[in-house]
Amino acid sequence: MNLHPTTAGLLLAGILFVLGLISVLIRRNIIFMLLSVEIMLNAAGLAFVVAASHWGQADGQVMFMFILAMAAAEVSVGLALILQLYHQLRSLDSDEASRMNG
Amino acid sequence: MDITFIIAAFIAVLATLRVITCYHIMHALLYLVVSLLAVAVVLFTYGAPFMAVLEIIIYAGAIMVLIIFFVMMLNLGLETAENEKAWLRPRIWIVPGVFCFVLLAELLYLILQNKQPAAGIQIVPPKQVGMALFGPYLIAVELTGILLMAGIVGAYHLGRQHKKTLHRFLENNLDT
C-alpha cells in the first residue's frame, strides 16, 4: 500500500462518513440515529484536519473546532428532543413519531 | 503511509462497524468511544495534537458522558442493577479494552519516538490555529458562542417537564 497520506486520510473520513450514513438509514432507534450523526460529523472534521495538514494552513483545524462546538450544541438539543419524544410516546422507535396527531 | 496510521484507521473502521451493528445501546457507546479514540490517534499522526486532545476531551469525554447519562436516566427501575451486571460481562468489554490498549501503545510509541510525520504531511502548530481563530475568524468564534447559548436555552426549554393540566381521575377516565 503506497497511498499518499492525504488520500488515505480522506479515504478513512469517507468510509466513516458512509458508515454513519448507512446507520442513519437502517436504524430505527432514535438514539442510534443521533450517534450516527455524531459519527458523520466526526468524519467531516477528520477530513478538515487532513486537508489542513495537506496545505499547511490552520483554517481546517479552525473548522474542526467549530464542528466540535456545533456537535456539542446539537447533542444537547437532540437529547432534550428525544426526552420529550420518549415522554410522549413511551418508546424510542422513530417510526412511532411518523404520524401527526391533530 | 505510516503503520501507526493504518492500525488506528483499521481500529476506527472496525469499532464504527460494531457501533452500527450493535443492538444494545451501551455496547454501541462503548465501541463509539473506542472509535473516537482511534480517530484522535489518526489526528495525532496528521500533525494536529491539539485537535486530538480536543477530540478526546469534548467528543469522547463530554458528549459521550452526556449520552450515557441520558441512556441511564431513561431506563430506571428495579432491573437496572441486573442490566448493569449484564452490561459489564468480560465478553463485552474485552474487545474494546484490547482496542484501547493498542491505541495507547501506539500513542506512547508516537510520543516516545518523536519522529517526523510522513512526507506530504505538514504540522500545523496550535499557535497558528489560535492566531487564525482570534484573527480572521473572530466573528465566527462569537457566532459559535451564540450557538452554544442557543443550545443551552433550547435544551433547557425542550427538556422541561410540562405541568399536568388534568386531574389524575380524569386522566384515568380518558385512558379507559
Q: Name every chain B residue with its beta carbon within 8 A of the beta carbon of A93.
A: none
Q: Walk me through the domains of chain A, giving residue ranges and CATH numbers.
A: 5-90 (1.10.287.3510)
- Does the CB of B154 have a partner CB in chain A at under 8 Å? yes
B153 touching A (Cβ < 8 Å) = no
In which band, very low, low, confident or very high, does the pLDDT at A102 lie, cut at 50, 70 and 90? low
Closest alpha carbon within chain A to B11:
A12
Owning domain of residue B108: 3-175
Return residues 28-67 of A near B (CB < 8 Å): 29, 31-32, 34-36, 38-39, 42, 45-46, 49-50, 52-62, 64-66
Q: Chain B: give the shortest CA distance to residue A75, in Å.
A: 7
**For the domain that residue B55 is a member of, what is the CATH number?**
1.20.120.1200
How many residues appear in chain B? 176
User: Given pLDDT bands bounded at 50, 70 and 90, which one contains residue B2?
Assistant: confident
And the C-alpha cell for B156?
A: 433547557
Contact flag A70-B147 (C-beta cutoff 8 Å): yes
Give mean pLDDT, residues B26-55: 91
In this prediction the ipTM stands at: 0.91
pLDDT for the residue numbered B170? 67
Residue B84: per-residue pLDDT: 65
User: What is the residue whose three cell numbers read 442513519?
Assistant: A24
What pLDDT does A99 receive? 74
User: Each residue of B44-53: pLDDT tens digit?
Assistant: 988 888 999 9
Q: What is the pLDDT of residue B85?
A: 67
Give tens-digit pLDDT for B54-66: 999 999 899 999 9
Q: What Å distances lie between residue A96 and A21, A22, B21, B36, B176, CA to CA?
A: 21, 21, 22, 31, 21
Enumerate the residues of chain A whose CB falls inside 8 A of the CB of residue B118.
5
